[in-house]
Structure 1
Amino acid sequence: MRIAIVNDLLIEIEILRKVIKSIEATEIAWTATNGAEAIDKLNADKPDLILMNLMMPVMDGATATKIIMETNPCSIMIVTTSLNTNRPKVFDAMGHGALDVVATPVLDESGNLIGEDNLVKKINTIRKLISYTSQFEKKQSAIYSGNKVNMVAIGSSTGGPKALTGILSNLPANLNAAIVIVQHVDSKFADGLAEWLNKYSELPVEIAVAKTKPINGRVYIAGTNDHLIIDPLGYFEYTPEPINYHYRPSVDRFFESINDNWIGTGIAVVLTGMGNDGAKGLLKLKKAGWLTIAQDEASSVVFGMPKVAAELDAAMEILNPAEIADKIKRTII
């Protein structure tokens, strides 16, 4: 594990050097004396972890953390003697993406380190986190190598086909996203729905096939009476579980699967329909950072599913189909 030190005080740099050298299988990548210097060095040599001081000249640790996480993300732990005197800065750094915060170890009168154990424990915890993340990303590499696939997930029921045409007819053929639709419809009508929507869409509409992956520029429709999901490797799959669920295919089940298995975020939409399917899943996606939308009452044939989503505060925006299409176009890069 390669660790960088960002600190303007030589004595603290030497203390951190001593701690790092005491940890098995770790080495010092580089040191910097302020946040600006750290950003320059990071761009040339990315370590596994940065131990970032909080209060420094030129650029403080919170500002540096913000810039790093926006431009060249790296694991950062705030290591500072300013925990009690600069709490707002501590929370600022944590809010920008620092993984943890710990007090800088100090030397007692005999030259012994005090507080070393806590720092070592936190470094080892982050090492495990980094190792797990690396293994997970390698497992997912077959899916997410190359161009990123952007997800737009839509759930609909009664009145859904009309709302779907209002969205799809307003989207361009070069939309850089995969649209996945879970419409409450018997499987015998799924092919016909896809064929009908193709008349209104510049994007090709097709049935989602198990063991295939969604790709940008296409629209997929759930095609069986089982529940459409995205599996842990990013492929479409169909599952009968939950067997006794009233809604088939289930919007909530699909939303939960992308919340658990999809890398990154996207846009999730609940359209017109009876009942409450999709609302709980939409709330999970909102909490995970997705842009969440519910259809408005005026344009809904049945203001059931979107109403429940709105009441749960799961929808960030309430829009009609044309406005939803416009939001998708303006959001997808």
Structure 2
Amino acid sequence: MIVEDSTVVRVLLTHIVERDPRLTVSAAVASAEEALACIGQVKPDVISMDIRLPGMDGLEATARIMSDHPTPIVVIADAVEDASLKISMNALRAGALTVVEKPVGLATDGYERLADTICTQLFIMSSVPVIRRRAIGGGARAPREAMPLATSADFQDLGYLALAASTGGPPALARVLDALPADFPAPVLVVQHMGAAFMEGFAGWLDSLSPIRVAVARDGELALPGRAYVAPGDRHLTLTPGGVLRLSGAAPVSGQRPSATVLFQSLARSVGSRTVAALLTGMGEDGAKGLSELRAAGGFTIAEHESSAVVYGMPAAAVKLGAARAVLSLDLIGPRIAQLARRREDA
């Protein structure tokens, strides 16, 4: 189902979707109210949701759909409008799975790439199971034996925290960062798989929710304690032994750039045992190999438990490799990291 108030964009999206043999348009409507009125009859496998709609906006529509007719939702947003970005990020918190850039026209630069991205995301997300009123971090907790307690000896010198996520990641990252104190004693490095056009807005959104400062990482920048640095779109983020951030346009790893594995591997080489790393919700296997190397280097590694992960792909791959020292539901990850930091301060 396509939900888009602009007739021109609605027709364009219909054209983009219909030319892909994997997809069929079951309905194309101009408002959230129309979508809610027919969703029970249409029963779409996935919804393309505009965020700036007349009447009920895309955020409220997402919340209503996830409450009454749980369906995978892909937000289609204007990446350059701050208001749209904020609504888009909050729609992800309400249950939407991902956000992609809105197409402008057939003759615009990058149209084919953008059209392919939209179709691929719609197809992939159509198979993601979603549940009614999904509470981020809710559900059954991990088995007690999967949550080993850390001691003050684990981190005599906590140097860095690394977080990585893909599908379902923005609200999960917000939850983890919200649990950290404003005086968190280490730099935080973040990889989130998302379109490059959204990264500045995404970092700004996290900054508005987090006790610590959040910004997009800059090449050559010194990573400072109590700051979070988000990998920019389409660039790998790494750390030198001297604590300097580096950005790279090297080939994608596991189909991703930025790649969680690339970040974790750089931390394993440069700071090893002084690192805490958490691999959160996401599709695919990115991050698993890097997390394994980081654990082998002495880092404290965490994978999100299946009970809270929107998509149990990346964390599952890490667990399968034995890369995670702890497997925790989302609501426990932030507090555990804060606990480790406090114990480091006490030590």
Overall identity of the aligned pairs, in %: 37
Q: Please say if residues 153 and 180 of structure 1, whose CA atoms lie closer than 8 Å, have aligned partners that are also in contact.
A: yes
Q: Please say if residues 168 and 325 of structure 1, whose CA atoms lie closer than 8 Å, have aligned partners that are also in contact.
A: yes
1:137-156 per-residue CA deviation (whole Å, 9 max, x = no partner) reads xxxxxxxxxxx772001111
- 2:240 corresponds to which of 231, 235, 240: 231
Q: Please say if residues 149 and 214 of structure 1, whose CA atoms lie closer than 8 Å, have aligned partners that are also in contact.
A: no
Structure 2 equivalent of residue 82 of structure 1 = none
1:246-294 per-residue CA deviation (whole Å, 9 max, x = no partner) reads 1111000111111112365210110000000000000011111110000
Runs of 4+ in 1 over 6 A off after TM superposition: none
Three-state SS of the structure 1 residue aligned to 2:337 is helix
Structure 2 equivalent of residue 205 of structure 1 = 214
Q: Please say if residues 272 and 297 of structure 2, whose CA atoms lie closer than 8 Å, have aligned partners that are also in contact.
A: no
Distance 2:241 2:254 in 1: 22
Distance 2:328 2:272 in 1: 26
Distance 2:254 2:324 in 1: 23
Structure 2 equivalent of residue 301 of structure 1 = 310
Determine which structure has more spread, i.e. the larger CA radius of gyration. 1
Is 1:151 aligned to 2:160, yes or no? yes
- 1:242 corresponds to which of 251, 261, 264: 251
Whichever residue aligns with residue 220 of structure 1, its letter is Y
Quickly say closer, same or farther: Cα 1:233–1:321, change in 2 above 3 A: same
Give 1:321 shift.
2.3
- 2:170 corresponds to which of 158, 161, 170: 161
Structure 2 equivalent of residue 256 of structure 1 = 265
Is 1:190 aligned to 2:205, yes or no? no
- 2:336 corresponds to which of 311, 327, 330: 327
Give 1:229 shift.
1.0
After the TM superposition, which residues 283-298 of structure 1 pair with which residues of structure 2 at under 5 Å, given as runs? Answer: 283-298=292-307
- 1:218 corresponds to which of 208, 218, 227: 227
Whichever residue aligns with residue 252 of structure 1, its letter is T
Three-state SS of the structure 1 residue aligned to 2:274 is coil
Q: Please say if residues 224 and 249 of structure 1, whose CA atoms lie closer than 8 Å, have aligned partners that are also in contact.
A: yes
Q: How many residues align?
A: 186
Distance 1:149 1:287 in 2: 16
TM superposition score normalised by structure 1: 0.54
TM superposition score normalised by structure 2: 0.51
Quickly say closer, same or farther: Cα 1:243–1:308, change in 2 above 3 A: closer
Structure 2: runs of 5 or more not aligned: 1-156
Structure 2 equivalent of residue 276 of structure 1 = 285
RMSD: 1.6
Give 1:231 shift.
2.9
Whichever residue aligns with residue 257 of structure 2, its letter is R
RCO higher in 1 or 2 (8 Å CA, sep ≥ 6)? 2
Give 1:207 shift.
0.9
Is 1:314 aligned to 2:323, yes or no? yes
Distance 2:176 2:168 in 1: 13
